[in-house]
C-alpha cells in the first residue's frame, strides 16, 4: 500500500497528537518532525517512531523524502512557515484557524499553486454521523434552511493549577480568542453539513474578554475574547447565529440546531457515547413529531486521526479534502466579519465591507 511521506512542524501538545495519529495510520509514513526546541523534537520523534527530527522547519522542508507537512504551530507564526513549506513543494495541512485573516489566507492560496492545502477545522466532520447529516440535509429533508444555530457556553470551574499558555487568548499570537479556538469548529461543522451554501452578507457581533473575577484564569496580557456572540444574515436569506464562551458567568449549554421549512435537526457535534440525531418533522395534520433518525457510539472516534486520514487520502487518491482552501476561505470570511463587527461596534456588510448605517 502506498503511504504518504509526512513531516510535522511543531512538537507541542497538538504536534505530538498529530505524530501519534500519523504513527498509527496505515496510510502514513512519519518521516520527520521539527521544532526550534531540539529536545522537544527528539522527544516526539522517539515516542512516535519518526525516522528523523530537525531543530528547524526549513531543514524539514528541504528533506526530499517528505511529500506533505502538518503545520502544528501557533497561528501567529504558522502562515509564514506554511508559505515556506509550499515554496518547497510540500502539500500542507494547516492547524485551525487556517490563518490570521483573509489577507494571509489568500497569500497561502496563491502559494499553493497546484499543491493540496487543507485545514484542521473540519475535524468534527470526519465521523459517520456528520456524513449522515450532510446527506440527510442534501436530500432536502429540511426544506429551505432558515436558521443555523450554535450556542455552546461553559461556566468557569476552579482556578487552573497549571499556568495557561500565553498564546491562547492573544490576538497577535492566535488571531483571536475562543472564536478561533473552538468557534471555528462549530462554524466549519455547520457550514459543511449544510453543503457550504451559506455566505455572510450582514454581520452583527460582540466579543468580551474574560470576566474580571476570573482574570487569573488566563495569561497576563491576554487581550482576546473568551465570549463571542454573532448573528449573520446570509446571502440566501438564512440566518446563522453563534455564541461561544468558556470560563464565563453562566450555566453549561451545548446546542447545535438547523431549522428548515420542513423540519429541524438537533445535533451533537462532539464525539460522545450515546450520540443521537433527532429530526423534528413537520406534518400538515399532526404538527411536529420527533423522530430518532440516527444513533450510535462515537466516543472512540478520533477527530484528530480523522482529519489526518482525510488529508492523506486526498493526496494519495487525488480527492477533495473536507476543508480545502475554498472552504477555509469561506469560513475565514465569517471569522473576519465577526471580528470586524465586534471591533467597530456596528453591523457590517460583506457586500461593501463598510459599516452599516
DSSP 209-257: ---GGGGGGS-TT--S-SEEEEEEEETTS-EEEEEEEEEESS--EEEEE
**30 and 117 part of one domain:** yes
**170 and 99 part of one domain:** no
**80 and 189 part of one domain:** no
pLDDT of 351 over the 90 cut: no
Residue 206 is part of which domain span?
A: 125-298+332-355
**102 and 13 part of one domain:** yes
**83 and 213 part of one domain:** no
Half-sphere exposure of 277 (CA within 13 A, CB side): 22
The CB density around residue 317, as the number of other CB atoms within 10 Å, is: 9
pLDDT value at position 300?
85
> Band of the pLDDT at 354, cuts 50, 70, 90?
very low
Cα(183)–Cα(244) distance, rounded to whole angstroms? 6
- Residue-wise pLDDT for 161-185, tens only, equals 988 889 999 999 999 999 999 999 9
pLDDT of 350 over the 90 cut: no
Beta strand segments in the chain, E: 4-9, 28-34, 52-54, 68-71, 91-94, 117-119, 145-155, 200-208, 227-234, 239-248, 253-260, 263-267, 275-283, 287-296, 348-349, 354-355
Judge if pTM exceeds 0.85: yes
**101 and 158 part of one domain:** no
- Residue-wise pLDDT for 332-346, tens only, equals 999 999 999 999 999
**30 and 137 part of one domain:** no
Beta strand segments in 95-198, E: 117-119, 145-155
pLDDT value at position 164?
83
pLDDT value at position 352?
47
pLDDT value at position 1?
82
> Band of the pLDDT at 356, cuts 50, 70, 90?
very low
> Band of the pLDDT at 353, cuts 50, 70, 90?
very low
pLDDT value at position 357?
45
- Residue-wise pLDDT for 2-57, tens only, equals 999 999 999 999 999 999 999 999 999 999 999 999 999 999 999 999 999 999 99
**266 and 314 part of one domain:** no
**74 and 154 part of one domain:** no
Instruction: Provide the number of structural domains found in the chain.
Output: 2
**253 and 185 part of one domain:** yes
| Residue 119, domain CATH | 3.40.50.720
**75 and 202 part of one domain:** no
| Residue 152, domain CATH | 3.30.360.10
**23 and 42 part of one domain:** yes
Amino acid at each position: 500500500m502506498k503511504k504518504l511521506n509526512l513531516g510535522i512542524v511543531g512538537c507541542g501538545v497538538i504536534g505530538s497528537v498529530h505524530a501519534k495519529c500519523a504513527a498509527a495510520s496505515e496510510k502514513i509514513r512519519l518521516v520527520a518532525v521539527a521544532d526550534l526546541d531540539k529536545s522537544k523534537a527528539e522527544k516526539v520523534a522517539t515516542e512516535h517512531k519518526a525516522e528523523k527530527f530537525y531543530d528547524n522547519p526549513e531543514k524539514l522542508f528541504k528533506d526530499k523524502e517528505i511529500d506533505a507537512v502538518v503545520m502544528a504551530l501557533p497561528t501567529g507564526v504558522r502562515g509564514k512557515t506554511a508559505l515556506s513549506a509550499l515554496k518547497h513543494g510540500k502539500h500542507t495541512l494547516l492547524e485551525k484557524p487556517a490563518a490570521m485573516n483573509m489577507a494571509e489566507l489568500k497569500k497561502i492560496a496563491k502559494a499553493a499553486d497546484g499543491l493540496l492545502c487543507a485545514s484542521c477545522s473540519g475535524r468534527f466532520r470526519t465521523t459517520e454521523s456528520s456524513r449522515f447529516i450532510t446527506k440527510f440535509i442534501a436530500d432536502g429533508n429540511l426544506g429551505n434552511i432558515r436558521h443555523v444555530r450554535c450556542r455552546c457556553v461553559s461556566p468557569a470551574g476552579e482556578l487552573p493549577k497549571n499556568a495557561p499558555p500565553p498564546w491562547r487568548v492573544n490576538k497577535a499570537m492566535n488571531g483571536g480568542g475562543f472564536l478561533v479556538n473552538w468557534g471555528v469548529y462549530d462554524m466549519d461543522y455547520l457550514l459543511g453539513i449544510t453543503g457550504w451554501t451559506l455566505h455572510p452578507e450582514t454581520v452583527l457581533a460582540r466579543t468580551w474578554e474574560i470576566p474580571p473575577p476570573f482574570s487569573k484564569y488566563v495569561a497576563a496580557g491576554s487581550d482576546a475574547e473568551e465570549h463571542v456572540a454573532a448573528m449573520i444574515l446570509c446571502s440566501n436569506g438564512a440566518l446563522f447565529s453563534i455564541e461561544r464562551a468558556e470560563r464565563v458567568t453562566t450555566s453549561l449549554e451545548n446546542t447545535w440546531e438547523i431549522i428548515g421549512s420542513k423540519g429541524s435537526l438537533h445535533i451533537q457535534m462532539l464525539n460522545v457515547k450515546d450520540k443521537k440525531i433527532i429530526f423534528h418533522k413537520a406534518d400538515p395534520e399532526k404538527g411536529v413529531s420527533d423522530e430518532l433518525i440516527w444513533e450510535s457510539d462515537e466516543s472512540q472516534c478520533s477527530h484528530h486521526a480523522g482529519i489526518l486520514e482525510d488529508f492523506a487520502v486526498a493526496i494519495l487518491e487525488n480527492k477533495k479534502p473536507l476543508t480545502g482552501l475554498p472552504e477555509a476561505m469561506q469560513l475565514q470570511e465569517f471569522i473576519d466579519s465577526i471580528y470586524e463587527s465586534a471591533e467597530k461596534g456596528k453591523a457590517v456588510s460583506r457586500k461593501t465591507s463598510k459599516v452599516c448605517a
